[in-house]
Amino acid sequence: MSSLYNVTETGITPNPLKPTPSTNTSEEYVDLFKKETTPDTATRLTQKHLSSTPPPTTNNFTTVYSHELEWIPCGDQEKRLKKRPEIMPNILITKLRTNQKITLEAHCKKSTGSDHAKFSPVCTASYRMMPVVTMLEKVEGEEAEELVTLEPGVFKLVEKSGKITAEISDPLASTMSRNFMRNPSLAKKIKIERSARDFIFSIEAVGQISPVDCLVQAIEVLKGKGERLKGIMESEE
């Protein structure tokens, strides 16, 4: 993948790629590097935009993002992949100041987290025991409003027979803070505990693979390790 930028005191000048007309905002100059024209056209367009380009200041810069990289297929990738591999479009690569330019050639390598952590598609994986929320008695009036404040998201207010009553809204929203126990009366009416048999498993991916695919592939890897261990144990018997 490669891209070239050149920033001058009067604006952004493409080199060697040439621009096509743009509008007034300086952010759109990044789009000028996608089509080829003659050097004369590039010069005229640069002069044309002088009036709309803000004067050079300490904050005058342009940004280079990942979606501006051009994919160059290697080997039979063009036939195998058929389309450009997906890439997070708004990753900031660098910022260019006046009279700066960059020529970038990036190589993509596919590997696994066992090789290096940078290849891992998962940034956070955690689990917690599932909360179980039980209402032992009705909670009404001011106590209901206080309960909703102490346990946000877990309970909600509803009106029944002209009275404000608290009901369970989302037990999974509980962080097991048990703030409701600050009120001795609520402590007798509400019970929040952990289930010893159920867990909430959370996976946060960084973009290469979806969280669901991460889980499925991780299970396949774990299954393969179990089968290899079983084969080793059987061979030693």
pLDDT tens digit sequence for 158-203: 998 889 999 999 999 999 988 999 999 999 999 999 998 999 989 9
User: Hey, what are 67's tokens?
Assistant: 């979606």
pTM of the model: 0.49
Run of H or E residues at 79: helix 77-81
Indicate whether 163 and 223 sit together in one domain. no
Higher pLDDT, 161 or 155: 155
In a domain, 38, yes or no: yes
Q: What is the pLDDT of residue 137?
A: 93
Instruction: Identify the domain containing residue 164 by its residue range.
Output: 132-196
Rg (C-alpha) for the chain, rounded Å, is 30
User: Residue 148, Cβ neighbours under 10 Å: how many?
Assistant: 20
pLDDT in tens, 217-233: 989 999 999 999 999 99
| Model confidence pLDDT, tens digit, residues 49-97 | 333 344 445 566 788 888 888 888 888 888 888 777 777 788 888 888 8
pLDDT of residue 198: 92
pLDDT at 206 over 70: yes
% helix, strand, coil for the chain, step of 5: 35, 30, 40
CATH number at 165 reads 3.30.1360.10
Residue 106 has pLDDT above 70, yes or no: yes
Where is pLDDT greater, at 52 or 115? 115
- The verdict on whether omega for the bond into residue 73 sits within 30 degrees of 0, i.e. cis, is no
Name which residue leads in pLDDT, 133 or 48: 133
**216 and 172 belong to one structural domain:** no
Q: How far apart are CA 63 and CA 140, in angstroms?
A: 56
Whether 96 and 66 map to the same domain: the answer is: yes
Number of domains in the chain: 3
How far is it, in rounded angstroms, from Cα 123 to Cα 164? 43
Q: Is residue 48 part of a domain?
A: yes
The Cα-based distances of 210 to 7, 201, 205, 213, 214 in angstroms read: 38, 15, 6, 5, 6
pLDDT tens digit string along 3-30?
A: 444 444 444 444 444 333 333 333 322 3
Query: Does residue 32 lie within any of the structural domains?
Result: yes
